[in-house]
Amino acid sequence: MKLSLFELLYGLSEALDHVESEWHPLPKVHAKKTAYFAVRMGECAGLKKEKLYQLALAGLFHDSGITRSQGGLCREKEGTKEELKFRLLAGEENFMQLPIRNPKPHLVLFHRERGDGSGAFGRKAGEYPREAGWLHLAERVSRLEAGWDEKTLRKEEIERKLQELKGRVLDPGAVELFFRAEPRLEAGDLFIKEYLRKILPDDHREWTEEEVGRFSLLMARIVDERCGPSCVHSREITRRIQLLAEYYQYPEVIREKLCLAGALHDLGKLVIPLEVLNKPGTLSEQEVKEMRNHVLYTYYILNRISGLQEITMWASAHHEKLNGKGYPFHLSGEQLFYPARMVACVDIYQALREPRAYKAEKSHESAVQIMKEMAQAGEIDPMIVDDLEKLFRR
Ligand SMILES: [Fe+2]
Ligand SMILES: [Fe+2]
Ligand SMILES: [Fe+2]
Residue 154, pLDDT score? 76
Is there a single domain that holds both residue 145 and residue 95? yes
Partners of residue 206 on adjacent β-strands? 2
Residue 133, pLDDT score? 96
Is there a single domain that holds both residue 180 and residue 80? yes
Is there a single domain that holds both residue 20 and residue 109? yes
Separation between Cα atoms, residue 283 and residue 360, nearest integer Å: 17
User: Which residues contact residue 373 at a Cβ distance below 8 angstroms, ignoring those fewer than 6 apart?
Assistant: none
pLDDT greater than 90 at residue 274: no
Residue 223, pLDDT score? 96
Residue 45, pLDDT score? 98
Q: How remote is the CA of residue 94 from the centroid of ligand 3, in Å?
A: 22
Separation between Cα atoms, residue 234 and residue 135, nearest integer Å: 30
Higher pLDDT, 54 or 81: 54
Mean pLDDT of 229-254: 97
Is there a single domain that holds both residue 127 and residue 271? no
Q: How remote is the CA of residue 80 from the centroid of ligand 2, in Å?
A: 32
Residue 75, pLDDT score? 63
Is there a single domain that holds both residue 189 and residue 311? no
Q: How remote is the CA of residue 22 from the centroid of ligand 1, in Å?
A: 12
Separation between Cα atoms, residue 15 and residue 383, nearest integer Å: 34
Residue 148, pLDDT score? 60
Is there a single domain that holds both residue 85 and residue 8? yes
pLDDT greater than 70 at residue 352: yes
Q: How remote is the CA of residue 277 from the centroid of ligand 2, in Å?
A: 11
Q: How remote is the CA of residue 265 from the centroid of ligand 3, in Å?
A: 6
Q: Which tens digit of pLDDT belongs to each residue from 353-376?
A: 998 877 889 999 999 999 999 999
Q: Which of 146, 172, 203 is the last residue of a domain?
A: 203
Please count the structural domains in the chain. Answer: 2
pLDDT greater than 70 at residue 26: no
Q: How many angstroms separate the first and last alpha carbons of the chain?
A: 31
Whether 146 contacts 9, CB under 8 Å: no
Q: What CATH number did the domain enclosing 168 receive? A: 1.10.3210.10
Q: What's the whole-model pTM score? A: 0.94
Please tell me the number of the ligand nearest to residue 29's CA: 1
pLDDT greater than 90 at residue 20: no
Residue 157, pLDDT score? 86
Q: Which tens digit of pLDDT belongs to each residue from 240-251?
A: 999 999 999 999
Q: Which tens digit of pLDDT belongs to each residue from 71-96?
A: 765 566 777 888 899 999 999 999 99
User: Which residues contact residue 209 at a Cβ distance below 8 angstroms, ignoring those fewer than 6 apart?
Assistant: 252, 255, 256
pLDDT band at 394 (very low <50, low <70, confident <90, very high): confident
Q: How remote is the CA of residue 362 from the centroid of ligand 2, in Å?
A: 18
Q: Which of 147, 178, 203 is the last residue of a domain?
A: 203
Is there a single domain that holds both residue 280 and residue 303? yes
Q: How remote is the CA of residue 266 from the centroid of ligand 3, in Å?
A: 5
Is there a single domain that holds both residue 148 and residue 213? no
Higher pLDDT, 153 or 316: 316
Would you call 4 exposed, middle or buried from its count of C-beta atoms within 10 A (0-12, 13-18, 19+)?
middle
Q: How remote is the CA of residue 191 from the centroid of ligand 3, in Å?
A: 34
pLDDT greater than 60 at residue 151: no
Q: Which of 158, 186, 203 is the last residue of a domain?
A: 203
Is there a single domain that holds both residue 214 and residue 165? no
Is there a single domain that holds both residue 39 and residue 90? yes
Residue 281, pLDDT score? 84
Please tell me the number of the ligand nearest to residue 345's CA: 3
Mean pLDDT of 287-291: 94
pLDDT greater than 60 at residue 19: yes
Residue 63, pLDDT score? 93
pLDDT band at 113 (very low <50, low <70, confident <90, very high): very high
Separation between Cα atoms, residue 159 and residue 139, nearest integer Å: 14
Residue 296, pLDDT score? 94
Tell me the pLDDT of the chain averaged across its residues. 92
Residue 7, pLDDT score? 96
Is there a single domain that holds both residue 173 and residue 213? no
Is there a single domain that holds both residue 177 and residue 302? no
User: Which residues contact residue 101 at a Cβ distance below 8 angstroms, ignoring those fewer than 6 apart?
Assistant: none
Give residues whose Cβ lies within 5 Å of ion ligand 2: 266
Please tell me the number of the ligand nearest to residue 343's CA: 3
Mean pLDDT of 165-187: 94
Q: What residues make up the domain containing 250?
A: 207-391
Separation between Cα atoms, residue 7 and residue 201, nearest integer Å: 12
Task: Identify the CA nearest to 374 among candidates 336, 319, 334.
Answer: 319
pLDDT greater than 90 at residue 23: no
